[in-house]
Amino acid sequence: MTSSNMVDSELTALYKQHSRKVLATLVRLLGDFDLAEEAVHEAFALALVTWRTDGIPKNPTAWLISTGRFKAIDIIRRNQRFGALQSDLQQLISEIEEHNLALSQQDIEDDQLRMIFTCCHPAIDAKVQVPLTLREVCGLTTEEIASAFLVPVATMAQRIVRGKHKIREARIPFVIPEVSELPERLDGVLSVIYLVFNEGYSASSGDALTRAELSSEAIRLCRLLMALLPDAEVMGLLALMLLHESRRQARTDAQGDIVLLEDQDRRLWHKHCIAEGTALVRQALLSRRFGFYTLQAAIAAVHAESASAAGTDWHQVVSLYSVLLRVEPSPIIELNRAVAIAMRDGPEAGLQLIDSILSRGELIEYHLLHASRAELLRRSGRHELALAAFEQALTLAQQEPERRLIKHKITQLLLR
């Protein structure tokens, strides 16, 4: 008999790290998102009871998948309240029962890529592809996804439901596309991986600044994708994630409070990540087929190779942001460029650009815009306006470490 605490700890870790792998395999086997999700939950519930008596199996992930398949049969039977099963459901049960119980680890790894490509199928609305994948493949909540896209939660929930219906109705297959089909699916897949990393690198809400399991998952998926398609933008995205990930240890202090880039101890930056990331950036740039992700990685590389914030080549950073803005016009990129210009030319230059974004009615609900504006106002000596901007940022921030940082800035202004 295994102790309850050991089983609980193992299941908690498995759920965080592998529940989406289990779901991806069950979706492929069952062909139905809702049935697979219910089966996953029942499999984990059964594990909580069974493992305390029988012990934790040698391959817990395979056990959960196998149990989930048979739980799906029970669910189907429960839902058929009147008479005989429909012929298609009976066929599904037969296929589940006949499937080889021994799944290889590679099967499970590939299933997540299959799921991503399925959710990013061209038949699915482009607005739905990325949110659907973030929800079903990566396990982000609807609230987290809505925050990442800056849209209401109800709107995002409708998009996700619409995507699942489309896959079922159009009978979109759960397969990795042929090499010739990969390029047309690449943009959606890269967007998914990028947004998963972003949620892991800077969580949209909660008590912690980061979610390491999401960042690691995004990097792992990008490596799998690069093995399939060594495209310049795949290299660029992997480089971008590695360069950002290199700073993880320096981004918070012992209390979990945020340490801003200019204040970080750069000796804590992970040198191996920086070396791999910068090498990938160079390789992607040499291809001359680069775009959005490679340009961001190039900006991250400038920071990574700078000995200090003061020693950063801000002229190069601004130039790269200017090119990025032409490739991908976005108010958030505009904001980042404005901050870089403020670092190069002084706070007033950056403030003019940020106020221009606000005057167009864009990013009004984005807390980082108000926090950036507040900091530039503080640096320009306009403390009362800075205080008001920090207070506005505080009302919009959802993540607790960011809220603590903003409160600290407010306190400093009040005590000046």
As averages over each run of 10 residues, the pLDDT of the chain (416 residues) reads 71 78 81 84 86 84 84 78 50 50 50 80 84 82 82 91 87 74 81 84 64 83 86 95 94 90 94 97 90 96 92 96 95 97 97 97 95 97 96 93 94 90
DSSP state at residue 176: P
Least Cα distance to 258 among 368, 144, 148 occurs for 368
Query: What integer pLDDT is reported at residue 196 of this predicted model?
Result: 82
- Asked whether residue 122 is domain-assigned, the answer is no
Q: How far is CA 165 from CA 132, 169, 233, 416, in A?
A: 11, 6, 31, 57
Query: What integer pLDDT is reported at residue 207 of this predicted model?
Result: 59
Contact 223, 236 (CB under 8 A): no
- Asked whether residue 52 is domain-assigned, the answer is yes
Contact 146, 155 (CB under 8 A): yes
DSSP state at residue 311: T
Boundary of a domain, candidates 47, 82, 102: 102
Structural domain for 327, as ranges: 323-416
Query: What integer pLDDT is reported at residue 320 of this predicted model?
Result: 97
Contact 234, 288 (CB under 8 A): no
Query: What integer pLDDT is reported at residue 337 of this predicted model?
Result: 98
Alpha helices in 55-86 (DSSP H): 60-79
The tokens for 253 are 């202090």
The two most distant CA atoms of the chain are separated, in Å, by: 78
Query: What integer pLDDT is reported at residue 203 of this predicted model?
Result: 63
- Asked whether residue 56 is domain-assigned, the answer is yes
Q: What are phi and psi of 368, to 5 degrees?
A: -70, -30
Q: Give the side-chain half-sphere CA count within 13 A for 296.
A: 21
Query: What integer pLDDT is reported at residue 343 of this predicted model?
Result: 96
The tokens for 386 are 């800075």
For residue 252, what are the β-bridge partners?
A: 258
Boundary of a domain, candidates 45, 77, 102: 102
- Asked whether residue 340 is domain-assigned, the answer is yes
Give CA torsion, residues 314, 320, 321, 323, to 10 deg: 150
- Asked whether residue 150 is domain-assigned, the answer is no
Least Cα distance to 394 among 381, 378, 405, 382 occurs for 405
* DSSP assignment of 353-364: HHHHHHHTT-ST
Query: What integer pLDDT is reported at residue 208 of this predicted model?
Result: 61
CB-count exposure of residue 266 (10 Å: 0-12, 13-18, 19+): middle
Query: What integer pLDDT is reported at residue 109 of this predicted model?
Result: 57
- Asked whether residue 37 is domain-assigned, the answer is yes
Boundary of a domain, candidates 81, 102, 123: 102
For the chain, report the end-to-end CA distance as a whole number of angstroms: 62
Contact 238, 194 (CB under 8 A): no
Q: What is the pLDDT of residues 193-246, one digit of tens each?
A: 888 888 788 766 555 666 777 888 889 889 988 888 889 999 999 999 999 999
- Asked whether residue 22 is domain-assigned, the answer is yes
Tokens 């990540």 belong to residue: 273
**Separation CA 88–CA 192 (nearest Å):** 33
The tokens for 181 are 């089909």
Give me the CATH number covering residue 357.
Answer: 1.25.40
Query: What integer pLDDT is reported at residue 36 of this predicted model?
Result: 85
Total structural domains within the chain = 2
**Separation CA 83–CA 141 (nearest Å):** 37
**Separation CA 192–CA 178 (nearest Å):** 20
**Separation CA 273–CA 405 (nearest Å):** 27
**Separation CA 332–CA 335 (nearest Å):** 5
Q: What b/e sequence results for 243-258 when a residue is b if at least 16 CB atoms lie within 10 Å of its CB, and e otherwise?
A: bbbbbbebbbeeeeeb
* DSSP assignment of 12-56: HHHHHHHHHHHHHHHHHHHS-HHHHHHHHHHHHHHHHHHHHHH--
Query: What integer pLDDT is reported at residue 90 of this predicted model?
Result: 54
- Asked whether residue 59 is domain-assigned, the answer is yes
